[in-house]
């Protein structure tokens, strides 16, 4: 069995990494990115808790699987995707 190595050079530091190691790292990165999908539905740059919303109850289910009392309450928390109605428990 032949193992290929990639040589990295960083100033005076030399080290070798096998292709197998790189494949493992790649798979871990892919797996971790899929588990973070819930977090990606919240846009932190859109969060504005000072927004004034009406208190009428027209529930929406956010992509974070939380029920918000209406669209405004979801949007002010940065939720970018939601469906009408309460979330299933």
The mean per-residue pLDDT over the stretch 52-80 comes to: 96
Q: Which two tokens stand for residue 62?
A: 């956010």
Distance CA 27, CA 63 (A): 25
Using alpha carbons, select from 82, 11, 5 the residue that is nearest to residue 41.
Answer: 82
The mean per-residue pLDDT over the stretch 61-83 comes to: 95
Higher-scoring residue by pLDDT: 68, 24? 68
**pLDDT tens figures, 8-65:** 555 444 445 566 666 666 666 666 554 444 557 899 999 999 999 999 999 999 999 9
Dihedral of alpha carbons 65, 69, 71, 75, sign? negative
Give me the pLDDT at residue 89, please: 72
Q: The whole model's pTM is what?
A: 0.55
Higher-scoring residue by pLDDT: 7, 63? 63
């Amino acid at each position: 069995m032949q193992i290929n190595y990639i040589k990295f050079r960083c100033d005076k530091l030399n080290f070798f990494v096998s292709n197998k190691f790189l494949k493992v790292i790649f798979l871990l990165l892919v797996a971790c990115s899929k588990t973070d999908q819930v977090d990606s539905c919240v846009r932190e740059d859109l969060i504005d808790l000072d927004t004034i919303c009406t208190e009428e109850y027209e529930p929406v289910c956010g992509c974070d699987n939380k029920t918000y009392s209406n669209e405004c309450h979801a949007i002010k928390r940065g939720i970018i995707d939601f469906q009408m109605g309460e979330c299933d428990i």
